[in-house]
Amino acid sequence: MDRSTTTDEDRADRIAELAQGLGVRIALAESLTAGRISAVLGRGQAASDWYCGAVVAYDAEVKFSVLGVTRGPVVTDRCAREMAVGVRRLLDADLALGITGVGGPGPDEGCPPGTVHLAVAGPDGVESQHVVLDGDPAEVVQAATSLALDEIVGALVSRSTAPRR
């Protein structure tokens, strides 16, 4: 998708189309974005058919106790991966995204503002990504939301073009 001309609502429409066509159920585990991705997906067409829901695990203890994240730093690739796997299992989803990071304005856990770790878990494993985004906290959260939605689209497109087993 061309990020310069695509809105988050467009991304949600594409996710809805792909998820419905593939019969895929999607779940989220959000920290950095604090439910923003869920709000976008919830407006997608027929969301009740393909969107399981989200766990907004802003507090580290929620990540540990609800999602099964290993105790320790939470602004890490490992945490994003474990969040995705945990929410996929918890909500019985086919595909799940976990996202954690530092919105700012200052650093956290030794990571600079704008640090984002996200992961997508599916039946064939987990793919993750680390980026550092520019901007104030609101801009970081917005950019992280769009990035996460793009990653979900990408995972669904890959799934739709994968050879059938």
| CA gap 94, 23 in Å, rounded | 9
| CA gap 75, 110 in Å, rounded | 9
What stretch of H or E contains 130? Answer: strand 125-132
Range 8-160: architecture per CATH:
Alpha-Beta Complex (3.90)
pLDDT value of residue 163: 67
Q: What does the domain layout of the chain look like in residue ranges?
A: 8-160
Closest CA to 104 of 138, 146, 74, 78: 138
* pLDDT at 164 exceeding the cut of 90: no
pLDDT value of residue 165: 52
Cβ count within 10 A of residue 163: 4
pLDDT digits (tens, 9 = 90+) for 64-108: 999 999 999 999 999 999 999 999 999 999 999 999 999 999 999
pTM of the entire predicted model:
0.94
* pLDDT at 5 exceeding the cut of 70: no
pLDDT value of residue 160: 84
